Amino acid sequence: MTDIAVTVNGEPRALAGTAAHATALDWLRERGLTGAKEGCAEGECGACAVLLATPAADGADGGAAWTPANACLVLAYALVGQEVVTAEGLGRPDQLHPVQRELAEAGGSQCGYCTPGFVCSMAGEYYRADRAPIGAQEPEQYAEHGPNGFDLHALSGNLCRCTGYRPIRDAAYALGAPDQDDPLRQRLAEPAPRAVATDVVVDGARFVRPAALDDTLRLLRDEPEALLVAGCTDWGVEVNLRARRAPLIIAVDQLPELRTFDVTDGLIEIGAALSLSEIERRLDGCVSLLSALFPQFASRLIRNRATLGGNLGTGSPIGDAPPALLALGARLVLASADGEREVDLADYFTGYRQSVRRADELIRAVRIPLPLARTTAFHKIAKRRFDDISSVAVAFALDIDDGVVTSAKIGLGGVAATPLRAYATEHALIGRPWDLATVREASAVLGGEGTPLSDHRASAEYRAVMLNNALLKLYSTTQHPQAEGIDSQEVPV
């Protein structure tokens, strides 16, 4: 185990003796790199953010990108052979990094606890290859960008309880382009590190990163109790807050067979281990329903690690992706050592955090059939605009021809023990005129779909009202389509 190491701030750091379930945050702090802090231990505050060297967004030149991630939700062994930069690696007290300097000059830090996390998230955006100044007449989608092209959503996962966000925003908007001789910029011209096959046992617990899918499936067949992790944004919370442990952890986030992306005449196939940020870039707005989902799914820090396979594999009834994928008519490719099978997502969930996936299977890919519905929308009802858990999530995908609803798929989350299709509401719409009378009648049906319960996020009555209002809101936007981009765009090949 002595050769198992991670490159941190340009220097190799050995992982020998580290517990199999240890997070990167704990491992870094134990080695004196205490800039990253534990604030919430569940990926909501961003105080633990670090930068990871990942493949460049376009992948064309074989270069790399600096991608921010929550160190509290990354297992230390998942970083074997990888490169990490912490706030300590960005600058020195006598030579601050431009991000650190702008934050200091703008007064963007008071107690300083969250500042290293902000620095790392801001640095990731600072080095974004396609960041460019934005003109005064640019489209509305750049409303939350600075004149220097800085996207404020890059900071959506970072919280500050004492400074206030205006000086932090001012610092972000004051950043120029990295200098040509900036070593972190120069590093991006080289490829990101490849995944390293890993197999370690510490105190009876084992961490494995198989080299290929076949190895993974054989291991899963022989060890059906093994825990699969990709982005680890769900199980990482269990590790931190509930002291959950697993005797065998199998990391699948870097398996090439789970990182595919393909568009044909009949479908879009998305690898189950692609991060949501990668999916968002590759789709490039061509699936409007997913374009509406992505900004509302947790934060950029979480989306940089979270995967569709993980979101569906947990079987959570409040996951944001299932309602959208249900409305898109998605199907899952389940793989085992015996072969593959395809399952309609509407038939996948069987109970609370239960599904038809067998213990020896994993989700290899998500398939979205084409053509896409022409009228789509995603409504998330939560207490915060961003970075929050849904009280109710509703996704619509309708075709309306000559004023008549010819097809309808509606996905719901947060209103039952599983995500579900609103079949009764779909039936109330199909073949009917798309007018206020039909919508009001169908809205009453939608309000009764599922078996909503009352909890700390919302009452059952509130959830029913939100369901009822969602279809009325969709109807309103179809009467004024310029207010919301509800039409799907052409899918690029």
What per-residue confidence (pLDDT) applies to 451?
86
What per-residue confidence (pLDDT) applies to 276?
97
Go through the domains of the chain in sequence order and give each one's CATH number: 1-193 (3.10.20.30), 375-483 (3.30.390.50)
What per-residue confidence (pLDDT) applies to 2?
45
Judged against a pLDDT cut of 60, whether residue 482 lies above it is answered with no
Its pTM surpasses 0.85: yes
Q: What mean pLDDT is reported for the chain? A: 92
Cα separation values, 33 from 9, 29, 252, 393, 464, Å: 10, 5, 27, 40, 49
63 neighbors 49 (Cβ within 8 angstroms): no
Of the candidates 296, 240, 300, 295, the residue with the CA atom closest to the CA atom of residue 275: 300
- 489 burial (CB, 10 Å; 0-12 / 13-18 / 19+) is middle
In angstroms, the CA 165 to CA 209 distance is 40
Strand partners, 261: 270
pLDDT range class, residue 487, cuts 50, 70, 90: very low
Of the candidates 483, 400, 385, the residue with the CA atom closest to the CA atom of residue 435: 400
SS (H, E, C) 133-158: CCCCCCCHHHCCECCCCCEHHHHCCC
What per-residue confidence (pLDDT) applies to 390?
86
Looking at this protein, which amino acid is placed at residue 376? T
DSSP 55: E
Over residues 143-155, the pLDDT tens digits come to 789 999 999 999 9
Give the gyration radius of the chain's Cα atoms. 23
- The two three-digit tokens of residue 176, written as one number: 């120029």
313 neighbors 383 (Cβ within 8 angstroms): no
Over residues 268-300, the pLDDT tens digits come to 999 999 999 999 999 999 999 999 999 999 999
In angstroms, the CA 53 to CA 83 distance is 6
Please give the average per-residue pLDDT across 367-391, as a whole number.
Answer: 90
Q: Residues 70, 74, 80, 82: what is their CA dihedral angle, to the nearest 10 degrees?
A: -20
Judged against a pLDDT cut of 90, whether residue 98 lies above it is answered with yes
What per-residue confidence (pLDDT) applies to 142?
73
In angstroms, the CA 180 to CA 209 distance is 36
Over residues 156-172, the pLDDT tens digits come to 999 998 999 999 999 99
Of the candidates 433, 447, 450, 229, the residue with the CA atom closest to the CA atom of residue 322: 450
What per-residue confidence (pLDDT) applies to 188?
96
What per-residue confidence (pLDDT) applies to 479?
85
Please give the average per-residue pLDDT across 344-351, as a whole number.
Answer: 97
Please give the average per-residue pLDDT across 123-150, as a whole number.
Answer: 85
Over residues 294-340, the pLDDT tens digits come to 999 999 999 999 999 999 999 999 889 999 999 999 999 999 999 99
What per-residue confidence (pLDDT) applies to 141?
66
pLDDT range class, residue 458, cuts 50, 70, 90: confident
Lowest mean pLDDT among 134-143, 213-222, 351-360, 392-401: 134-143
**Number of Cβ atoms within 10 Å of the Cβ of 16:** 11
What per-residue confidence (pLDDT) applies to 137?
58
Please give the average per-residue pLDDT across 439-447, as a whole number.
Answer: 96
* Residue 301 or residue 457, greater confidence: 301
Instruction: Report the percentage of the chain scoring pLDDT > 70.
Output: 95
Please give the average per-residue pLDDT across 32-51, as a whole number.
Answer: 96
229 neighbors 253 (Cβ within 8 angstroms): yes
Of the candidates 164, 169, 127, the residue with the CA atom closest to the CA atom of residue 146: 169
Q: Any alpha helices (H) in 162-293, and if so which ranges?
A: 165-173, 183-187, 213-222, 235-242, 276-283, 288-293
Cα separation values, 354 from 145, 320, 360, 478, Å: 41, 17, 14, 36
Q: Residues 236, 240, 241, 246: what is their CA dihedral angle, to the nearest 10 degrees?
A: 70
Tally of CA atoms within 13 A in the half-sphere of 224 that contains its CB = 8
What per-residue confidence (pLDDT) applies to 140?
65
pLDDT range class, residue 455, cuts 50, 70, 90: confident
- The two three-digit tokens of residue 173, written as one number: 């908007």
Looking at this protein, which amino acid is placed at residue 13? R
399 neighbors 423 (Cβ within 8 angstroms): no
pLDDT range class, residue 107, cuts 50, 70, 90: very high
Q: Please list, in sequence order, all residues whose beta carbon lies within 8 angstroms of the beta carbon of residue 350, skipping any fewer than 6 positions away.
A: 356, 418
